[in-house]
């Protein structure tokens, strides 16, 4: 085997390795997307106990019957909180 043959052989090997890496990266993206979807499907939520599922709560000021509605600090207005 002369030097040209060795170089050609090595280049062929390197091209094959690059192809394998490309395929693995594509597969990695697919697997990550699948895991993301599975995680989203697995999330269990319940009604927020801080605002009783209203998303807002009445923040009473010092004076009686006065105050204003604020976005719930626990569920951030989403009305539900994650259990998992």
> 8 vs 73, which CB is nearer to Zn ion?
73
Q: Which of 7, 72, 80, 82 binds Zn ion (CB under 5 A)?
A: 72
DSSP string, 8-68: HHHHHHHHHHHHHHHHHHHHHHHHHHHHHHHHHHH--EEE-TTTTTSSEEEEE-SSTT-EE
CB of 59 to Zn ion, least distance (A): 13
Q: Does 50 bind Zn ion (CB under 5 A)?
A: yes
Residues interacting with Zn ion, by CB under 5 A?
A: 48, 50-51, 72, 74-75
């Amino acid at each position: 085997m002369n030097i040209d043959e060795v170089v050609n052989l090595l280049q062929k090997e390197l091209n094959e390795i690059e192809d394998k890496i490309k395929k693995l990266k594509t597969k990695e993206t697919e697997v990550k997307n699948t895991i993301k979807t599975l995680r989203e499907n697995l999330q269990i939520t319940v009604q927020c106990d801080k605002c009783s599922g209203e998303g807002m709560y009445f923040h009473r000021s010092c004076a009686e019957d006065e105050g204003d509605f604020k976005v719930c600090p626990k569920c951030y207005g989403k009305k539900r909180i994650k259990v998992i």
